[in-house]
Amino acid sequence: MMPNRQNVWIIDPCKIFGQLLAKMIQKKYPRADITQIERLDQANSCLEAAPPNLVFIDSSIAFASCIATIKTIRRKLPKTQIVVVAVDDCEEYEQAILNAGADFFFSKNYSSYQRLVEFIEKNNPTANTT
């Protein structure tokens, strides 16, 4: 049975980008529950209480902490989609993020932003992923 609502997390220390992303998702999928989280320790403590089906992580958070959070989410919630959004779009950085268990990587440059919008359009966070 498909739940009526799905949890989408946005882990981003920048409130402006997080709010923009939340508005984009909410506009397309009004039934999605969106939680904005500014610190990784908040995310780790909420994993069991309200597990997300889709997580956006801004990688401007310390790289090692970002990698550790991706691995924790992947281990505890293997079906959760993990999307990392980064200012830096170097190939080695992207590969490290994907190797840690992220499903998608987007940089914050314009062309990648367009790909992020397309991703949101095509990947319904209200679909049952658990």
How much is the pLDDT for 3? 47
Concatenate the DSSP letters of all residues of 39-57 into one string. SHHHHHHHTTTS--SEEEE
The sign of the dihedral angle between the CA atoms of 95, 98, 103, 107 is negative
Q: Which two tokens stand for residue 76?
A: 């505890």
CA 84 to chain centroid, in Å, comes to 6
* Domains, in order of start, for the chain: 7-122 (3.40.50.2300)
- Whole-model pTM: value is 0.80
CB environment 31-51: b (16+ within 10 A), e (fewer): ebbbbbbbebeebbeebeeeb
Tens-binned pLDDT, residue by residue, of the chain (130 aa):
334 568 899 998 888 888 888 998 888 888 889 999 887 777 777 777 778 889 999 877 777 788 998 999 999 999 999 999 887 777 888 899 999 999 999 877 655 667 777 777 777 655 554 4
Q: Which two tokens stand for residue 68?
A: 């550790």
C-beta atoms surrounding 78 within 10 Å: 9
- Tell the residue number behind the tokens 């550790």, with chain if given: 68
What dihedral do alpha carbons 26, 28, 30, 35 form, nearest 10°?
-30
- For residue 112, the one-letter residue type is S
CB 5 within 8 A of CB 50: no
